[in-house]
Structures are given as structure tokens and as C-alpha cells.
Amino acid sequence: MSLSLSCLGCNLNQALKVLDGLGLSPAARESAMREVLSYLSRVSYNLSNPEIMGGTWGIIVRHGGDPDPYREIKRYYNEELLAMSGSIETLIASASDPFITALKTAIAGNLIDFAAQHTFDLAELQRRIEGVLDTPLARDDSPRLRTALAGARTLLYLGDNCGEIVLDKLFIQRILREFPVKVYYVVRGRPIINDVTLADARQVAMEEAATVLENGDGCLGTVLGRVSPGFRRVFEEADVIIAKGQGNYESLMDAPRGNLFHLFMAKCQPVARHLGVPPMSIVCLEKKA
């Protein structure tokens, strides 16, 4: 999905937000913003926003001198969701359809996104999780996902954000109760905003549910032209792929393969309009081969 002009606001807001928190001098902040603006004036708008945001992020952290400025807040959200995981697991297990409840709960965690325009806090996230039984999927290809998993030996699960990774783990554990698949959970190769990395996977003990892989890149989403050859091979060979988050949707909607399912919250107008769903609705969408 190529860049929408409104995506430029997300890039600039993210740059301002991070630079404001780095304690840089006014002159250093101005220098960084001038470089961001120069980059955005030259970059091809045929690229997806996740790839362009990766370039913006590289400029920000180079000027700030910290490759992972969100590390502490990522740990905080992981810890908070871990503390909630027992009650969420009970909610899933007691539902009439635990698979769908775990799926929708995992998507509810997609609310945690420091790059998006919407505001959120733990109270809002908890409200969404508690209301998940009554929350419809605006696009619902979950029956096809179930069918695909029933015939699969391997599942590649592309992670998205901190905190949300705890709910991913609960969903994967539910999948493993129903389907005898080998699961690979994928994190970014380098930190970018609040996207999951190997440190997040270790913090939530993701290895208890899946083999953890890095994709070799530091963009939002999964930009196939930038990932490592090893990850690309696993991507091509996996029987089923679950791709979490809007960034993975934007970067993979034209990927040359089937059995790829996007689970995310439509958090901006361009994507919601493209899908024909209300903003902030949740979707389980099969990518057509």
C-alpha cells in the first residue's frame, strides 16, 4: 500500500514526539527536523508508509544518540499486560468460542501504538479487552483462517507492538490447543518505536509458545525487500502466516503468496477507507493470492 499524503503527519508527529523526549537542545532538534523534512521531500511516495517511517526513525535516533528510546515504556507495557494475562486467559477459556475470543483479544492489543494518531491508556485497553465478546469483526475471514490452520504444519506469526505481544502469546497457545502446528514468532531485527524486538519476546517468555525469529530489518511492518534472506525463506515456505498490525497490512498487502491473514485495528482514515470499515474497528482479513 503506497503512501497516503495524510501519512506524512504521522511521520512528523512521531519525529516531534521522540525528539521532545530526548532532552536535545533546540538547535539539535531543529537540525533533526530539517533532515526529516528533507528526507520526506525526496522519498518516493510509491513506497509503503512503514518503509518510509523506517527512514524517518533512522534520522531521529541518529540525532538522539539512542537506538531504542522507547525501551523503558515497552518494558512497562509488557509487565502490565503480563500482570493482566491471568484474567484474560480466564476470559478466553470461559468463552463459548475460545479461538475467536483469543483472536479478537489479540487484535484489541493492537491499540498499543506510539506511532498512531489515536490516544490510549491501560484503562482504555482493559475496557476493549473486557468488551471483546461483544465486539464484532468488521471484516471476518476467521473461518478461512481456521480452515487454513487445520491443514497446516507451520505457522509464521508476525508480531507488532509491545504489550500486545502478551496477547499474541495467549492466542498462539490457544491455536496450539486446537491445531498441531509448529509456530514461529517474528520480531523486528532492530528497535523502531514500540515494535517488538528480541528483548520483548524474552521478557514475555514467548519461547514457551513459539520459536522466535528476527526479520533482519528495522522498519515498521515487514518490508520484504529489506528483510534477511533467512527470514524471507521462512516467509515463503510457511504454510500459514498471521500478520499482526496495520504496518504489516500496509507493507504486505501485495506480497506474492496466499494463506496470509491480517489481524489488526484500522487506526487511520486511509486504511479504514480502503477497507470500507469504520475507523478503530477490528478486522481478520485474508490476503487474496
Assigned C-alpha cell, 51: 518503509
List, for residues 187-229, the tens digit of each pLDDT value.
999 999 899 999 999 999 999 999 999 999 999 899 999 999 9
Closest CA to 159 of 244, 248, 240: 244
Residue 239 has pLDDT above 80, yes or no: yes
Name 62's Cβ contacts closer than 8 Å, sequence gap at least 6: none
Same domain, 142 and 237: yes
Residue 182 within any structural domain of the chain: yes
Contact 131, 161 (CB under 8 A): no
Residue 274 within any structural domain of the chain: yes
Q: Please, which pLDDT band fits residue 118 given cuts at 50, 70 and 90?
A: very low
Same domain, 102 and 196: yes
Give the integer Cα–Cα distance in Å for 252 and 248: 6
List, for residues 24-67, the tens digit of each pLDDT value.
889 999 999 999 999 999 989 888 888 898 999 999 989 988 89
The three-class DSSP label of residue 123 is: helix
Residue 214: give its domain's CATH number: 3.40.50.10880
Same domain, 35 and 148: no
Tally of CB atoms within 10 A around 176: 15
Domains contained in the chain, number: 2
Same domain, 141 and 273: yes
What's the mean pLDDT when you consider all of the chain? 90
Give the integer Cα–Cα distance in Å for 47 and 227: 15
Query: 79: phi > 0 → left, psi -120 to 50 → alpha, else beta; which?
Result: alpha
Q: Please, which pLDDT band fits residue 6 given cuts at 50, 70 and 90?
A: confident
List, for residues 68-102, the tens digit of each pLDDT value.
998 998 999 999 999 999 999 999 999 999 999 99
Same domain, 140 and 38: no
**pLDDT value for 289:** 66
Residue 1 within any structural domain of the chain: no
**pLDDT value for 114:** 62
**pLDDT value for 243:** 97
Residue 126 within any structural domain of the chain: yes
Same domain, 111 and 146: yes
Same domain, 147 and 12: no
* Domain endpoint, select from 64, 79, 98: 64
Q: Please, which pLDDT band fits residue 264 given cuts at 50, 70 and 90?
A: very high
Same domain, 116 and 43: no
Same domain, 266 and 189: yes
Residue 266 within any structural domain of the chain: yes
Give the integer Cα–Cα distance in Å for 157 and 46: 27
List, for residues 135-177, the tens digit of each pLDDT value.
899 999 999 999 999 999 999 999 999 999 999 999 999 999 9
**pLDDT value for 274:** 86
Residue 2 within any structural domain of the chain: no
**pLDDT value for 79:** 95
Tally of CB atoms within 10 A around 87: 12
Same domain, 40 and 92: no
Same domain, 149 and 45: no
Same domain, 143 and 213: yes
Q: Residue 259's domain spans which residues?
A: 71-287
Name 232's Cβ contacts closer than 8 Å, sequence gap at least 6: 224
